[in-house]
Chains A and B, each alone.
Chain A
Amino acid sequence: DTEVTQTPKHLVMGMTNKKSLKCEQHMGHRAMYWYKQKAKKPPELMFVYSYEKLSINESVPSRFSPECPNSSLLNLHLHALQPEDSALYLCASSQGYDRESEQFFGPGTRLTVL
């Protein structure tokens, strides 16, 4: 299985809602990532988990809260978002700390904040 899955595909939420994005991989990868991508822009790194521990937080606002319950699963909890947070949220995974790791991406969750 060389696939990264993400649910839901689309999410519409109000600014007072709490929602979660889910990402799963079964490739035995030990590093998992969250990226945010605005329209016609490149993906921007948000968080990196390695061996289920948060390794990198790219100064992301606290209304985004990542969680890695196990080596296959990565969640992104959303609370009190702003309309400017509307974007495509991409999850990726890679073999690990390898300096030459290829990242495998999921199809993304398109988030709209009203």
Chain B
Amino acid sequence: SQQGEEDPQALSIQEGENATMNCSYKTSINNLQWYRQNSGRGLVHLILIRSNEREKHSGRLRVTLDTSKKSSSLLITASRAADTASYFCATGWGTGFQKLVFGTGTRLLVSP
């Protein structure tokens, strides 16, 4: 299976704290993307990092990618209750047409 593994499976923090989620994957990739899913809803794209990039920022999000270790991390700084959601990494791979394979996900709970 191409599926990535994420850890932790669940994370519970207080507002204002930082949240870090990790993703490991198995094969060579074109890029790695992070998505957020609020309970039982559609996914929202957060950030994409290319295979030749090491770090990327977007607002309160910081993503790192280590292709030698086949791993990525997502850091959310100064978390808010509204950040409560499931977070999935998704690896993009394939030639000619990109397929996305989603990781197992991290459920984040941010308490006020």
| A binding-site residues for B, Cβ under 8 Å | 4, 6, 31, 40-45, 48, 50, 55-56, 88, 90, 92, 97-108, 110
Knowing A42-B3, A55-B97, A101-B98, say if A107 contacts B48 (CB, 8 Å).
no
Residue of A nearest to B88 (CB): A42
Residues of A within 8 A of B31 (CB): 99-100
Interface size on B, residues (CB 8 A): 26
Residues of B within 8 A of A40 (CB): 105, 107
Does the CB pair A97–B44 fall under 8 Å?
no
Chain B contact residues, majority secondary structure: strand
Cβ of B79 within 8 Å of any chain A Cβ, yes or no, is no
Residue of A nearest to B102 (CB): A42
Does the CB pair B40–A110 fall under 8 Å?
yes
Min CB distance B38 to A, Å, is: 10
Compute how far the CA of A6 lies from the CA of B43 in the bound complex, rounded to whole angstroms. 13
Does the CB pair B98–A98 fall under 8 Å?
yes
Residue of B nearest to A42 (CB): B102
Residues of A within 8 A of B88 (CB): 42-43
Residues of B within 8 A of A42 (CB): 3, 88, 102-105
